[in-house]
Amino acid sequence: MPLNLSFLPFLNRVEKSVLDAVEHEVEWFCLPAGQLLFREGDDADAIYLVRSGALAAFRSGALGRPDLIGYIRTGEPVGEMSMLDETPHSASVYALRDSELVRLPKASFERLTNKHASLMRELSRMMLARLRGPRRASGSEPKVFALISTSPTIDLDYRSKEIASTLAGMGVNCGIADESCSDWSGQKLDAFEAGHDIVLLTARFSDPAWARRAMGRADRMWLFARADARPSTPLLPDDPSPAMKLKLLDVVLLHPGGVTAASRPQDWANAAEASRVFHWRQDHHVADTARLARTLSGRSVGMVVSGGGARAYAHMGAIRALREAGMPFDFVGGASMGAIIAAGIALDWSDDELEQRIRKAFVDSNPLDDWTLPVVSLAKGEKVDARLKEHFGEVEIAEMVRPFFCLSSNLASGRPQVHRTGLLRHALRASIAIPGLLPPVVVNGQILVDGAVFTNFPAREMRAFHRGPVVGVDVTRAQGLNPSDFEDPPGFIEWVRKNGLKSPPPIASLLMRAATIGVADHRDVGREAADLLILPETSVDIRSWDRFEEVRDAGYDAAQGMLAGIDDAMRVRLGLKAAPQKGG
């Protein structure tokens, strides 16, 4: 019996005879929630069309777990590009909820397109529209969120209404469905979801039937927990929802005023196997609510900064200019020296505090002058360790106000190592371990060195971390050495007599440059992942730690210039006010 394919928008313009022919060739089947449709690397032997339900596509991830590429919803095809291009599937696709699909085998497709040119024409139009459209189409974004309470003392009604009110102020239509909607039919919930930009399904574990249904319909889950409580064991139901199974789950940790934390944020993240931890603080209620609302609506701003030794001072100037313009930073990440700057933002340091701490750690005295007879490095690294402990103490990454990551380079695996958990100063120490200059960091038998060796500007990793725009500051330069330092160089004794022991010799720059030379091949890939890219101009050597103001100001000027040139559409995406009109 032929199937009615009129639900597919791209087939609306073909002749009825063509539609009838397609309906006779397709195969209908059900894909239960959580089941795999096809795996990344599999041969593409058919086009699939979603009749009902929702799918999610994942690709091998830059953050150590699969990256969520997007969602495929009712009326959309999947697998068509790989089949037409005769290449293996570029992503793995799973059913996010119970779904009905139709399958058009490759042989049938080729037979139909050879006979009916209009079918290929309409499919080509649809694919071109995707390629020319925004980087992420609205339908590919998460829309339905399950907000699950882990404690009866958490007022989910209040929390969800606060988020919905903030979203409304952003022009986003948000609907809330709680346990009173538990008897709604699937069709009624479908209609409710279709009528809103964002849907919040609020549930409590004390009502397991509705909680399971909410989790089963969710594109993503947010688990609400109290900082003054401990996670139970087990924390989640035995029959996990697809969102849980596919790790599309975050923890929102509530911090009531005047209470003492009973557990580490990482304890909650481990218990839930969560991707991210958000903090909702009573004494920063408005700012944290706004950050959560931006994240839900795909408008969060990710800030990523590159390594570059002393040139990374430019990041602080750029950050000051962006903050003065009103840009929020919701997610932050970096590599090498940029990781230290990014950590300050994630800890909610003000511009003044960030500059004061960086001055104390790197400008007032050189942390890399504890020279030693080299066995694994020129410097002992003890002064660097002491300064990281002084400024970051025992803070864990999961405790940071803003979600944070940094990169080191794993010499054992030959891949970037993404740090999203554990003690912050340990992650930073690995990220700045310049080969030959500082001792490497050894963790579980893995040798970790400076993040810039493999990825100096981790904008691609930031894009995998959140769904909104990415803003980057990159001080990478193709030329990082002063040729005169290497033309007829003096001997060691003569160099020390002239420059002293506190100034690093040219071999330090040579090692830093040699360690990161391969970055040039990957730089454009990272830069393409940024929606707004700031490139400060400075010729300062990467070991000139004393030229703080000059480099910082170059970053400020570069950011100011970039802000002046962006259009109103980009300003809205970045949470900025429209630019003032010129003239009267």
Question: Which residues are designated catalytic?
Answer: 336, 450
Beta bridge partners of 333: 304, 405
- Whether residue 93 contacts residue 56, with contact meaning beta carbons closer than 8 Å, is answered with yes
Spatial CB neighbours of 530, under 8 Å, sequence gap ≥ 6: 304, 459, 470, 471, 472, 474
What is the H or E stretch that residue 190 is in? helix 186-194
Residue 23 tokens, joined: 């309906």
Whether the link from the prior residue into 234 is cis, omega within 30° of 0, is yes
Q: What 3-state DSSP class applies to 354?
A: helix
**Furthest-apart CA atoms within the chain: distance in Å:** 92
* Closest of 194, 195, 212 to residue 203, by C-alpha: 212
Contacts of 161 (CB under 8 A, 6+ apart): 176
Report the alpha-carbon distance of residue 382 to residue 386 in Å, rounded: 6
- d(CA 298, CA 282) in angstroms, rounded, equals 24
Contact between 379 and 368 (Cβ < 8 Å): yes
Token output for 305: 């900064």
- Smallest CA-to-CA distance from 99 within 125, 75, 67 is with 75
Residues 6+ apart with CB under 8 A from 498: 490
Q: How many CB atoms lie within 10 A of CB 531?
A: 18
